Structure 1
Amino acid sequence: MLLRSLRTLKIRMDQHQKSALAVAHFLENHPKIAKIYHPGLESFPQYKLSRKQMTGYGGLMSFQLKTDDLNKIKAFFNGLSLFQIGSGHENLIYAPAISNLKELSKEQFEGVGI
């Protein structure tokens, strides 16, 4: 099974990266998104460096909603159908503001870069 999977890895990774970049572009222009972080976007702070160092960008990204309202953040997460809240290897999404980090003050969040 490993050999069979390796034979199609490049095709799957190419599509994985292409799909992620399409999602990143969509989110970059969405009115409810404040900021998106994906190395394949020209708006990414280290875009030029990523072009030099990477041959592809993978599927991971992060973004900020244009709200600090925890109820709206929870509603967003609960409204997702293709992603589950958590960590692991599936289609997952994670929000520090509604995770075990929710106990931090606004200053503490900012202090750790969240």
Structure 2
Amino acid sequence: MNGVLIVDDLEFMRTALREILEKTEIPVVGEACNGREGVEAFARLQPDVVLLDITMPEMDGLTALKRIRRKDPAARVVMCSALGQETTILKAIRYGARDFVVKPFKPERIVSAVRKALPGN
């Protein structure tokens, strides 16, 4: 298992997600603070799963999702956002997201979404 790439513009959110995953022995292979860096890190690190925020500077999560899926149509991406709007969720799913977690989230919801997205599940 390569692990998870966390893409979120808020450092405290990346740290919280890393701690949640590592407590359950899901490795984190990298972090990025915007969509552009996330797309670059995805190409470089080839993670099993990407946890991707939607609202970020430079490149938003939906654009990053499309670019990641263009590079690798089998990419496994779980979207994370405080925007619980149905249209955003539907777009993310249409663009190929495996799941959508609304902030504030419960740690077990993140773990469950990532585990379901891992290869072999």
Superposition TM-score, scaled by structure 2 size: 0.30
TM-score if structure 1 supplies the norm length? 0.31
Greater relative contact order, per chain length (Cα 8 Å cut-off, separation 6+): 2
